[in-house]
Amino acid sequence: MTTDTQKEMTVKEKKELTTPAEQTRPGALFVPNVDIFETDKQITLLADLPGVTGESLTIDLRDNILTLSGEVQPFEGPDEKDLLIEYEIGKYYRQFTLSDVIAQDKIDAQLKDGVLRLTLPKVEKAKPRTITVSAG
Amino acid sequence: MFLPRVFGMPTFGSMRPFEELSRMRRQMDRIMDSFMEPRLQGLRSGVFPAINLTEDDNHFYLRAELPGVKAEDLDIQATGRNVTISGERKLATEDASARYHRREREGGRFSRALAMPKEIDADRVEARMQNGMLTLKVPKSESAKPRRIAIGS
């Protein structure tokens, strides 16, 4: 258990993304909250994506840019009327630049209870070599 | 008691000089609030989790975003017309050698009570946790359901 668990949680407003490019489809775009931490072997990214399913999440990696994009379907039935709306539902979108030390073919992604866990293993460092000079 | 008003400032006339300060602060708060103009008034409740409440003829639907909260860490109670959601969001403890680059996710305890606008059938509340999204289906009591009134000719 961490010290965090004793803390009282507060509401944070969802951060809306201001995109440089205009979207072709309407709808709000939110920036998911992430934790990123690094150990000697790997970098792990945890992202809160409530309401995103495995099928609606796309993780794209090209030119060292990792893009997370998750669609959230509206949950409300057609006959429902809003009484109290405290948060909005929209797409999640966030980009990260990765360095070359990531073994890009070994990236692992798991989505559970609305939290994405992305494991990015580091490339094994080039082994140091000793070069012997033969005297001629 | 007579106290001269220095520079015509009423502050010095009163025995509570901080009153003026707090009045100014309240004014500043109001000005700031009007600038911020929160789009969603409900956010002012400030209590986690944020809730969306909708209704149809027979049910209230209460939805909250609780990513990473397990069903066993949630406690949902319904009494009278109140629904209480409390629980704890536990963040897994990671490797001690982990160096954090970003830490935006938060854990902690939460508890929120919400009164439904009408009488509910507290015995038949259904709760579902899916993809980090909690949905409560709260049936309205018979007396709270709308009745169509036929117009006699």
Picking from B39, B47, B54 by the largest number of A CB atoms within 10 A of its own CB, the best residue to mutate is: B54
Report if residue A92 sits inside a domain.
yes
Q: Rounded CA gap, B43 and B49, in Å? A: 10
Q: Rounded CA gap, B78 and B84, in Å? A: 6
DSSP B18: H
B residues 5-24 near A, CB within 8 Å? none
Q: Which residues of A touch B43 (CB under 8 A)?
A: 11, 13, 86-87
| Number of domains chain A is built from | 1
B residues 24-43 near A, CB within 8 Å? 38, 40, 42-43
Q: What is the mean pLDDT of each run of 10 residues along chain A (136 residues)?
A: 61 74 73 90 91 91 88 84 88 86 85 92 71 79
Report if residue A43 sits inside a domain.
yes
Among chain B residues, CA nearest to A53: B131
How much is the average pLDDT of B40-69? 83
Are A35 and B103 within 8 A, CB to CB? yes
Q: Which amino acid does the sequence have at B131? A: N
β-bridge mates for residue B85, sequence order: B76, B112
Report if residue A79 sits inside a domain.
no
Report if residue A18 sits inside a domain.
no
Q: Which residues of A touch B63 (CB under 8 A)?
A: 75
What is the side-by-side order of every strand in the sheet holding A108-112?
A108-112, A115-121, A42-48, A34-38, B99-103
- Distance of residue B52 Cα from the nearest chain A Cα, in angstroms: 5
pLDDT tens readout for residues A54-91: 999 999 888 888 999 998 888 787 888 889 888 888 89
Classify B110 as helix, strand or coil: strand
User: Is A64 at the interface with chain B, CB within 8 A?
Assistant: no
CB B85 within 8 A of CB B74: yes
Domains parsed from chain B with CATH numbers:
6-36 (no CATH), 45-91+105-144 (2.60.40.790)
Report if residue A20 sits inside a domain.
no
Of B115, B141, B129, nearest to B63 by C-alpha is B129
Of A83, A40, A25, A34, nearest to A59 by C-alpha is A34
Q: Is the pLDDT reported for residue B40 higher than 60?
A: no
pLDDT tens readout for residues B79-128: 888 999 999 998 888 878 888 988 999 889 999 999 999 999 989 999 99
What is the side-by-side order of every strand in the sheet holding B59-65?
A81-85, B51-55, B59-65, B133-139, B126-130
Q: Is the pLDDT reported for residue B138 higher than 90?
A: yes
User: Is A108 at the interface with chain B, CB within 8 A?
Assistant: no
In which domain, by residue range, is A70 found? 26-74+84-121
Q: Of A33, A53, A87, which has the smallest distance from its Cβ to B50's Cβ?
A: A87
Long-range contact pairs involving B72-79 (C-beta distance under 8 Å, separation at least 24): B74/B127, B74/B129, B74/B134, B76/B125, B76/B127, B76/B136, B78/B120, B78/B122, B78/B125, B78/B138, B79/B122
Report if residue A66 sits inside a domain.
yes
Report if residue A91 sits inside a domain.
yes
Q: Is the pLDDT reported for residue B34 higher than 70?
A: no
Inter-chain Cβ pairs, chain A and chain B, closer than 8 A: 160
Q: Rounded CA gap, B78 and B137, in Å? A: 11
Identify the CATH number of the domain in which residue A109 sits. 2.60.40.790
Report if residue A48 sits inside a domain.
yes
